[in-house]
Structure 1
Amino acid sequence: MLENEFHKLEEKQEIRTTISQIRKEIKKQDSKKAFLELLQGKESMIVDFLSEEDAKTRKNTALLIGDLKLEQAKEALIAAYLNETTLYVKSAYLTALGKLDVRENLEFFKNRLQEVKNQQVPAEEQKHQGEEIRELNEIILKTEGAKKHQFTGFQMPHEMLLLTNREQREVTFSEVKEIGASVQRKAELHPLGVLVFSKEVTPFTKLRTYRELLFPIHTNERIPAMPHRAAELLWHSDLYAFLTECHEGDAPFFFRLEVKSAEPKTEFVKKLGASLEKKSDWKLANSTTDYEIEIRLIEAKDGSFVPFLKLYSMKMKRFAYRKNAIAMSIHPATAAMLMYLAKPYLKENAQILDPCCGVGTMLIERDILVPAREKYGIDIFGDAIDMARENAALAGEKINFIHRDYFDFKHDYKFDEIVTNMPVKGKKAKEDMDAFYARFFEKSKSLLAEDGIIIMYSNEVGFVKKQLRLQPCYRLIQEYTIRKKDSYCLFIIGMK
């Protein structure tokens, strides 16, 4: 296939189509290497196609050079870029150059960026101007790295949204109240979590039961699903003033867009990013890799969006220990929230066992909240045990992790607590899960102390309740709904 396409190029047959086909082919494993071997010593043949009359051929040629990383074509690409008169092709040259070593050309690209920003182009060409500016920014970022802004704190109080579990917002609200009125000016429940109003940020970064800290962006009206109007509202909001208040350093601020909606909004996101760059005169620069802020739009019932800001410049170290995770790992904020709910039943200096420990998150959060004496984690998945050991070391936790099936585990003494995030059903049959829960409760009897408890997070409410009926040695002490939509609950179960 590649040989045929290569010979077509040699004969200059169907150049544009052939180059497009080659670009598709070399994405396959080993195909790029095979094509480079065919091309060896004949690289100038590809470079010559940058002079073709057809604009799309020039564009495809530039992109192919980038795909192949033909360093010897760098100067030819720069010359072709400068001579290009078709605006939609210009960004293709820059995409290719971004894949080459252009460190010695950095000043050229910086100067060129300012030139393009100052150009006045017709409205119908502004899209292509924006693409050119983005590619120039990406080259500069890749070559010298982003000049990240340092978060310096606030001069005045601001609203902060602690995004948390909807069914258990009161948990985070209780944590907030424990901080004290001297820090927060206002704290109230919000549909997405807890809203606080404070000049101080640090105390809230240390709370463990919320997932994310977002800052509301205040606009004159809800953000519509219209890119240009949305960009106008965002730019004329308090967004940029907020960023400059709490950061050192000059523009641009590198951002990414995140839209939370029922349906994908890919085209809207793309157009909004470009429009916001233009509207802000590139004081806000869209970047997919080196962003330091996230502008998040959460869809409301009427189809409009409520805007929030997330600051990656503000270092959050709450869960720095969680270096490793697997697909089914519990989020550390969820684990912390579960432990907070279970706190009235936890003992200091307890002996604890997690029979399905995964990467160790539940055990670590349990011990952070109420220090325990002995902690054991068991998992049948050996890689998870290795990850758990590393996570625990980073958390400064001494936990005994054992690669073993829980049903084969034996111990010299009994445990005060069994703390576990139960495995999900996945592709297992209902009968298999029923049997698993039966074995789990039966096995746990032999490992729990007389006054011991099970702290269980599960979405198999029926199987849990069934075992509580069938095995009279257990009693349900407390039950909390955690995620109503998919039936996740926290069970506090004691021995009778």
Structure 2
Amino acid sequence: MFRNYLDKIERDEDVRKNLIELRKLLKIEPGSAAWQRDRQRCLSLMLKLLKHEDAKVRKNAALILGEMGCQDALDALFYAYECEEKLFVKSAYLTAMSQLDYRTYLNAFRERMEELMQMEMTPENQKHLNEELKLLRDMLLIVEKPVKHTFTGYSVPSEMILLTSPGMEQLTIGVMPRNVRDAAKAMRGGVRILAERPGELFGIRTVKGFMFRFCANPLKATDYQAVAAAIYSAGLTDYLKKRHEGDGPFYFRIDLRTKLVLNEKSQYVKRLGAELERLSGHHLQNSASNYECELRITENKQGQYSVYLILHTIADSRFSYRRNAIATSMHPVKAAEVVSIVSEYLADDADVLDPFCGTATLLIERYRKKKAAHLYGVDIFGEAIDGARENASLANVPSYFINKDFAEFSHSYTFDEVLTELPAGSDKMTPDVLMILYKNFVRKLNQWMTPGGYAIVVTTEKEYLLSLAARSGYLKAEKEWALSGKKTQYVVVLRYRG
């Protein structure tokens, strides 16, 4: 097939169509023996086609050279790029060179980018110039990582939304500094507040993220040009500068949450990003991979857009101890939520056991909430135990970890609390296996626990756990809460009567 297409192209038979078919074949079989045999022939032919009179032939020839990874073609591609008059083809040369080692031409790319930023855009050239500009920027950023700005806005008054899981709003307000609680208002999935000193809030452990509200009202006009104009007029550039140190442009991305279908959304984001760049004189630059701030645009029930700013320049050190994690590890914010929900059942100086401890996130957050006398973690996976030891050491949390199956673990004294997340169903953890595990867990509670103590369990199988507890004769259900998330989980508190 490869030779057949090459033969037709050499005979000048329907060149454009055969190049397209050749590209399809290259994507399906990129490293096949047939390609390797005809690689040099294909390279020579594509280099000749870079001078073809048909612009679309030049475009496809360039793309094939890039997809083949032909480093020998770099100089020819760059020369063709500089000579090309058709704007839509120039981007193809850049796409091809982006798959090669193009560092030789960084200065030339930088000069071209500066030239593009000064050019007047018209409805006719806007699409292709923006595409070329984006490719150049992405290529430069891959090699020359931008110097990030430093966040300094810890004491700059800001209207903010603290993102939380649904149901965690009031608990989050409850742990705020006393001087700001009265100004906080709960909303579904977050807390709105005008913070005089935002830095006071960054340490709250149940917060999933921080959004800054710099556009006062929802935007009624939702076409990309009107939205870009409204965002720029709201003073986005000055807002960022007031809260940061450092020179250079601010790199941003756009998170658009609207009813638009995927293709429409993608086009809208590209156009909106390009328009913001233009309005700001390129002090704002759109980058999907090297961004330091994020514009989150959400559509409300009335079809209006609300615009928020997320700053990735804010250093989050709340969970810096968490150097190790495994696939089943609990997210630290979720662990903080769990211990906040059940805080009334946590005792100071308690002896605490987690028989499915993983890398110890839940135990560490338990200790951060209230000091414990002794913390014990048990897990059957040695990798998890190694990670737990390091995490606990980094968190400065005194604890003991044992690599053992929970069903085989016993101890010389009993525990005031058993705090754990039980495994969920999976390919390996079939319903039958899960039922046996739950039965063994409930049976072991009778060996591990001190009378009057509490088992605090995160589970996907609430009803089954409660039925086992009721039949045990030594466990009494105290309270339960539903957790938000992709899979329905519950926190169940069981009192051990002995």
TM-score if structure 1 supplies the norm length?
Answer: 0.89
Q: State the match for 2:226 in structure 1.
A: 229
Q: State the match for 1:180 in structure 2.
A: 178
CA distance in structure 1 between the partners assigned to 2:62 and 2:365 by the alignment: 52
Q: Does 1:244 align with 2:241?
A: yes
Asked if 1 retains the 8 angstrom alpha-carbon contact of 2:293 and 2:309, the reply is: yes
Structure 1 residues 114 and 35, CA, compared in 2 at 3 Å: closer, same or farther? same
Tell me the CA shift for residue 211 of structure 1: 0.8
Tell me the CA shift for residue 67 of structure 1: 2.6
Tell me the CA shift for residue 431 of structure 1: 5.4
**Relative to structure 2, which stretch is displaced further, 261-270 or 118-127?**
261-270
Asked if 2 retains the 8 angstrom alpha-carbon contact of 1:185 and 1:196, the reply is: no
CA distance in structure 1 between the partners assigned to 2:192 and 2:424 by the alignment: 33
Tell me the CA shift for residue 164 of structure 1: 0.5
Structure 1 residues 30 and 125, CA, compared in 2 at 3 Å: closer, same or farther? closer
**Runs of 5+ unmatched residues, structure 1:** none
Q: Matched residue of 2:443: which SS?
A: helix
CA distance in structure 1 between the partners assigned to 2:329 and 2:196 by the alignment: 34
Asked if 1 retains the 8 angstrom alpha-carbon contact of 2:158 and 2:198, the reply is: no
Structure 1 residues 311 and 37, CA, compared in 2 at 3 Å: closer, same or farther? farther
Asked if 1 retains the 8 angstrom alpha-carbon contact of 2:277 and 2:286, the reply is: no
Q: Matched residue of 1:202: which SS?
A: helix
CA distance in structure 1 between the partners assigned to 2:396 and 2:13 by the alignment: 66
- Greater than 6 Å deviation, 4+ residue runs: none
Tell me the CA shift for residue 188 of structure 1: 1.9
State the Cα deviation string for residues 356-408 of structure 1 (Å, max 9, x = none): 22332111211222233433323344444444444334434454444433223
CA distance in structure 1 between the partners assigned to 2:435 and 2:248 by the alignment: 59
User: One-letter code of the match for 1:117?
Assistant: M
* Length, aligned pairs only: 493
Q: State the match for 1:254 in structure 2.
A: 251
Asked if 2 retains the 8 angstrom alpha-carbon contact of 1:259 and 1:265, the reply is: no
CA distance in structure 1 between the partners assigned to 2:335 and 2:440 by the alignment: 24
State the Cα deviation string for residues 31-81 of structure 1 (Å, max 9, x = none): 178735642487343322211222222222222222333233222222211
CA distance in structure 2 between the partners assigned to 1:336 and 1:286 by the alignment: 34
Q: State the match for 1:58 in structure 2.
A: 58
Q: State the match for 1:482 in structure 2.
A: 483
Q: Where do residues 411-450 of structure 1 align in structure 2 (5 Å cutoff)? A: 411-426=411-426, 432-450=433-451
State the Cα deviation string for residues 263-288 of structure 1 (Å, max 9, x = none): 75453244233333224423322212
Q: State the match for 1:340 in structure 2.
A: 340
Q: Matched residue of 1:420: which SS?
A: strand
Q: State the match for 1:110 in structure 2.
A: 110
Asked if 2 retains the 8 angstrom alpha-carbon contact of 1:261 and 1:299, the reply is: yes
Tell me the CA shift for residue 336 of structure 1: 0.6
Q: State the match for 1:90 in structure 2.
A: 90
User: One-letter code of the match for 1:494?
Assistant: R
Tell me the CA shift for residue 11 of structure 1: 5.6
Asked if 2 retains the 8 angstrom alpha-carbon contact of 1:256 and 1:288, the reply is: yes
User: One-letter code of the match for 2:362?
Assistant: M
Q: Where do residues 313-352 of structure 1 align in structure 2 (5 Å cutoff)? A: 313-352=313-352
Asked if 2 retains the 8 angstrom alpha-carbon contact of 1:138 and 1:287, the reply is: yes
Q: Does 1:491 align with 2:488?
A: no
Q: Does 1:362 align with 2:362?
A: yes
Q: Where do residues 3-152 of structure 1 align in structure 2 (5 Å cutoff)? A: 4-5=4-5, 14-27=14-27, 31=31, 35-36=35-36, 38-40=38-40, 43-152=43-152
CA distance in structure 1 between the partners assigned to 2:151 and 2:132 by the alignment: 30
Q: Where do residues 236-315 of structure 1 align in structure 2 (5 Å cutoff)? A: 236-261=233-258, 265-281=262-278, 282-315=282-315
Asked if 2 retains the 8 angstrom alpha-carbon contact of 1:62 and 1:93, the reply is: yes
Tell me the CA shift for residue 132 of structure 1: 0.9
Tell me the CA shift for residue 486 of structure 1: 5.5
Tell me the CA shift for residue 26 of structure 1: 4.5
Q: Matched residue of 1:309: which SS?
A: strand
CA distance in structure 2 between the partners assigned to 1:473 and 1:492 by the alignment: 13
Structure 1 residues 30 and 221, CA, compared in 2 at 3 Å: closer, same or farther? closer
Tell me the CA shift for residue 3 of structure 1: 5.4
Asked if 2 retains the 8 angstrom alpha-carbon contact of 1:32 and 1:68, the reply is: no
Structure 1 residues 483 and 42, CA, compared in 2 at 3 Å: closer, same or farther? closer
Structure 1 residues 89 and 419, CA, compared in 2 at 3 Å: closer, same or farther? same
Structure 1 residues 23 and 452, CA, compared in 2 at 3 Å: closer, same or farther? farther
TM-score if structure 2 supplies the norm length?
Answer: 0.88
Tell me the CA shift for residue 7 of structure 1: 5.5
Structure 1 residues 60 and 410, CA, compared in 2 at 3 Å: closer, same or farther? farther
Q: State the match for 1:376 in structure 2.
A: 376
State the Cα deviation string for residues 281-302 of structure 1 (Å, max 9, x = none): 2332221211111111234234
CA distance in structure 2 between the partners assigned to 1:461 and 1:386 by the alignment: 30
Tell me the CA shift for residue 206 of structure 1: 1.2
Structure 1 residues 121 and 298, CA, compared in 2 at 3 Å: closer, same or farther? closer
Q: Does 1:466 align with 2:492?
A: no
Q: Where do residues 195-206 of structure 1 align in structure 2 (5 Å cutoff)? A: 195-206=192-203
CA distance in structure 2 between the partners assigned to 1:54 and 1:226 by the alignment: 36
Q: Matched residue of 2:375: which SS?
A: strand
CA distance in structure 2 between the partners assigned to 1:33 and 1:214 by the alignment: 53
CA distance in structure 1 between the partners assigned to 2:99 and 2:343 by the alignment: 53
Structure 1 residues 456 and 222, CA, compared in 2 at 3 Å: closer, same or farther? farther
Structure 1 residues 180 and 363, CA, compared in 2 at 3 Å: closer, same or farther? same
Asked if 2 retains the 8 angstrom alpha-carbon contact of 1:468 and 1:475, the reply is: yes
Structure 1 residues 85 and 329, CA, compared in 2 at 3 Å: closer, same or farther? same
User: One-letter code of the match for 1:351?
Assistant: D
Q: State the match for 1:207 in structure 2.
A: 204
Tell me the CA shift for residue 316 of structure 1: 1.0
CA distance in structure 2 between the partners assigned to 1:3 and 1:401 by the alignment: 63
User: One-letter code of the match for 1:447?
Assistant: W
Tell me the CA shift for residue 148 of structure 1: 1.6
Tell me the CA shift for residue 355 of structure 1: 1.9
Percent identity for Structure 1 against Structure 2: 32
CA distance in structure 2 between the partners assigned to 1:358 and 1:222 by the alignment: 46
**Relative to structure 2, which stretch is displaced further, 125-134 or 363-372?**
363-372
User: One-letter code of the match for 1:164?
Assistant: T
